[in-house]
Structure 1
Amino acid sequence: MATIMPQGELMRRAVKWVGDKRTETGEPLAALCEKAAMQFNLSPKDAAFLDGFFKEHKEPGRD
């Protein structure tokens, strides 16, 4: 049974998931953000925010 969560909680989980996966896999940021948007059922606006968030806070030497 699916649990209903506030949209903000989904975004927090998506940000954590992308950060963890970047560390574990080294997969490109764009691919991870797209996967997170699908997995956490983010709106297009939230998906764009997620992508922008990581582009603003990227580590040196990362994509």
Structure 2
Amino acid sequence: MTTIMPQNELTRKAIAWICEKQQDGQDGELNALIQEAAARFNLSPKDVEFLQRFYKDKQD
């Protein structure tokens, strides 16, 4: 049986996954990680924009 998760939970999981990849030293290009997370967690374009803003603000 498949469990349906609220969209914001998927975004949180994507952030955690990206952070994990960065800590493992697999941080390549951040945009590539965001795109991979979008595919892996089935994020909407709006969620991808949120992730891009989140990491841009985090770097500033």
Cα pair 1:22 1:28 within 8 Å, conserved: no
> Pairwise mapping of residues 3-42 of structure 1 onto structure 2 (< 5 A)?
3-24=3-24, 25-42=26-43
Give me the TM-score of the superposition, normalised by structure 1: 0.83
RMSD value over aligned CA atoms?
Answer: 1.4
Bigger relative CO (Cα 8 Å, ≥ 6 apart):
2
Q: CA deviation at 1:2?
A: 2.9
Decide whether the 8 Å contact of 2:15 with 2:51 is kept in 1.
yes
Structure 2: segments with no counterpart, 5+ residues: none
Q: Count residues with an aligned counterpart.
A: 59
Note if contact 2:34-2:48 (Cα within 8 Å) is conserved in structure 1: yes
Q: Which runs of 5+ in 1 are unaligned?
A: none
Using the TM superposition, give the Cα deviation of residue 3 of structure 1 relative to its aligned residue in structure 2, in angstroms.
1.9
- Partner Cα separation in structure 1 for residue 6 and residue 59 of structure 2: 27
Are 2:55 and 1:54 equivalent residues in the alignment?
yes
* 4+ long deviations beyond 4 Å: none
TM-score (normalised: structure 2): 0.86
